């Protein structure tokens, strides 16, 4: 019986987080009651799971960052050449970032748990870029911290590419990954 309640509680938390993402993307000032309604739950149930709006925002940040880590690990970046791994990770991350646009593109509360997850994401990214450098995809003297910052900016810009809303192919994570990686590795200059 306790296991069924636990599974039910996990489902309601997931429903609340997904509803919060949708509702807050439409209206960043939405109330807990609006989020509860979108989740198909009562306000009391939402408050039972999240004592405050701050607690809900922190849970959103943790959940989204955890999903980013899972997306990176699912790409199995150590099992392929750096270029393949970079494309896989990028496509997977873009898929998650697209689903969690509000949470991952707005300043969200950073609990210790969220900060630890972000540090893990940075470590994965740095490790992958270091492999890309060792395998000759990046210049031997490239500043990897700067490259990582540019990579993150390209990920965000790819999701906000002008005209992509009207073009379903333009929103495809594989197409966007190609754009991000080509820009990261070759810039906008002519190719030799």
The pLDDT tens digits of the residues spanning 91-133 come to 999 999 988 888 887 755 567 888 899 999 999 999 999 999 9
**Rounded CA separation 145/124 (Å):** 13
CB of 120 within 8 A of CB of 69? yes
Tell me what pLDDT residue 1 has: 43
To the nearest whole number, what is the mean pLDDT of the chain? 88
**Does any domain span residue 191?**
no
Containing domain of residue 113, as a range? 58-186
pLDDT higher than 70, residue 18: yes
Total domain count, the chain? 2
Both 65 and 39 in one domain: the answer is no
Tell me what pLDDT residue 161 has: 80
CA separation (Å) from 129 to 4, 42, 55, 179?
43, 46, 34, 17
**Does any domain span residue 73?**
yes
Both 85 and 176 in one domain: the answer is yes
**Rounded CA separation 65/117 (Å):** 6
CATH number at residue 10: 1.10.10
Tell me what pLDDT residue 21 has: 93
Domain termination site, one of 33, 51, 69: 51
Both 12 and 101 in one domain: the answer is no
**Rounded CA separation 82/124 (Å):** 13
Work out the pLDDT band at 2, boundaries 50, 70, 90: very low
Backbone φ and ψ of 58, nearest 5°: -65, -40
Q: What is the mean pLDDT of residues 161-177?
A: 76
Both 8 and 66 in one domain: the answer is no
Helix (H, G, I), strand (E, B) or coil at 145: helix
- In sequence order, the 6+-apart residues with CB closer than 8 A to the CB of 123 are none
**Does any domain span residue 176?**
yes
**Does any domain span residue 9?**
yes
Both 94 and 118 in one domain: the answer is yes
Both 37 and 104 in one domain: the answer is no
Tell me what pLDDT residue 167 has: 66
Tell me what pLDDT residue 107 has: 59
pLDDT higher than 70, residue 152: yes
Percent with pLDDT over 90 in the chain: 55
């Amino acid at each position: 019986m306790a296991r069924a309640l636990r599974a039910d509680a996990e489902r309601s938390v997931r429903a609340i987080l997904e509803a919060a993402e949708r509702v807050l993307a439409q209206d960043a000032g939405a109330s807990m009651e609006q989020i509860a309604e979108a989740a198909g739950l009562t306000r009391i149930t939402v408050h039972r799971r999240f004592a405050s709006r701050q607690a809900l925002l922190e849970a959103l940040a943790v959940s989204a960052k955890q999903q980013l880590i899972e997306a990176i690990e699912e790409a199995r970046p150590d099992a392929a050449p750096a270029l393949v791994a970079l494309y896989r990770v990028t496509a997977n991350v873009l898929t998650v970032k697209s689903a969690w646009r509000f949470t991952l593109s707005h300043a969200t509360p950073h609990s210790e748990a969220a900060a630890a997850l972000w540090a893990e994401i940075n470590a994965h990214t740095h490790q992958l870029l270091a492999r890309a450098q060792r395998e000759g995809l990046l210049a031997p003297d490239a500043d990897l911290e700067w490259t990582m910052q540019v990579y993150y900016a390209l990920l965000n810009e790819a999701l906000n590419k002008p005209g992509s809303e009207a073009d379903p192919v333009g929103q495809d994570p594989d197409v966007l990954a190609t754009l991000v990686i080509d820009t990261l590795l070759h810039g906008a200059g002519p190719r030799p």
